[in-house]
Amino acid sequence: MTSDNQASELENVEAVPGSPKQDPILKIDNIVRSFGGLRAVDVDHLEVQRGIITAFIGPNGAGKTTLFNLITGFDKPDSGKWTFHQLSNKESWTTNLSGLRPHQIANKGMVRTFQLTKSLAKMTVIDNMLLGAAEQKGESLRNALLPSRWQKQEKQILKRAEDLLERFKLSHMRDEYAATLSGGQRKLLEMARALMSEPKLILLDEPMAGVNPVLVESLLVHIENLRDEGVSVLFIEHDMDAIMGISDWIVVLAEGQVIAEGTPSDVSKNPAVIDAYLGSEIAEELKDV
């Protein structure tokens, strides 16, 4: 699949909040989370298209990370339902994700990373990677003491881990403790580790934050490569400029609600978005210009 195909899939999608997608991988309905009197997240309906890069943007405090936490099970919503739609060999099935615990959601094929990287500092880079693989036989206590039961699988996992490290240019750090990596390298490691489980949908929480500009370039390339390999990508960013180039679809959040969605060009022209980012007064001024 190329990005042209995906663009055509998005052609007929209306650029309004909650618009239905042709082939959604994730559907969210009536999800609400309040902290005291503040409705941090209040989304009526949202669909995420399969096979493309979708970005959640919005000013600080818009509820992006809270929404991420809710759909990955790290926080519990007051109400709401969300479902995961999988596809293989023309067969499709729907999994209800609401109410599941974080590890159950990850095991369904929806894996996340964190804004503040959670690279496991006192483990080596390669151990971090190996940990990411799903359904490891040796991870059950029954088999742990019998290496013959897991060594073969371990070798396959090791191969994949090394390939991914190569791709993310971390091979030279293979046996170093993750604590020795730079901030940007940790972001790369966390992304590579999440890919070890071969997720269908990967959720990246501000992958570019705190990363030096040179590394941002390569991060963007990695994200595009993921999409081209068929992984759906959903990521959070609050810097609009950074994402315009790579996002296929943008969902704009403000004060917990979806205020706009659309292609980058749709969104950048949307007065509601300019308003949310710059405040209404400046938006008025811009109109005059």
- Of 12-20, 26-34, 95-103, 163-171, the window that binds another protein (rule: CB under 8 A) is 95-103
The one-letter code for the residue type at 246 is: I
Nearer to another protein, 141 or 214 (CB): 141
Sign of CA dihedral 143, 162, 69, 42: negative
* Cβ-contact 33, 277 below 8 angstroms: no
- Please state, in angstroms and rounded to a whole number, the distance separating the CA atoms of residues 12 and 76: 34
**Contact indicator for 194, 132 with CB cutoff of 8 Å:** yes
Residue closer to another protein by CB (options 73, 262) is 73
Binding segment for another protein (CB under 8 A), chosen from 13-21, 32-40, 192-200, 229-237, is 192-200
Q: Contacting another protein (CB under 8 A), which of 55, 194, 219, 251?
A: 194
CB contact set of 240 (below 8 Å; sequence gap of 6+): 57, 268, 277
Among positions 105-134, residues that touch another protein (CB under 8 A) are 106-107, 111-114, 118-123, 127, 130-132, 134
By the rule CB under 8 A, 51 interacts with another protein = no
Q: Which of 193, 200, 222, 227 binds another protein (CB under 8 A)?
A: 193
CA 245 to chain centre: 17
Asked if residue 258 lies in contact with residue 19, where contact means CB atoms within 8 angstroms, the answer is no
Nearest to 264 by CA among 247, 276, 281: 247
Is residue 183 close enough to count as binding another protein by CB under 8 A? no
In Å, how far are 49, 116, 152, 162, 242 from 215, measured between CA atoms? Answer: 27, 17, 35, 20, 13
**According to the binding rule CB under 8 A, does residue 99 interact with another protein?**
no
Residues 132-161, mask of contacts with another protein (x by CB under 8 A): x-x-xxxxxx-xxx-x--x---x-------
Given candidates 49, 185, 197, 247, which one binds another protein under the rule CB under 8 A? 197
Using CB under 8 A, count the residues that bind another protein: 41
- Residue closer to another protein, measured from CB, 118 or 269: 118
- Strands 24-35 vs 79-88: parallel, antiparallel or unpaired: antiparallel
* Closer of 94 and 104 to another protein (Cβ): 104
Binding site for another protein (CB under 8 A): 72, 74, 101-104, 106-107, 111-114, 118-123, 127, 130-132, 134, 136-141, 143-145, 147, 150, 154, 177, 179, 193-194, 196-197
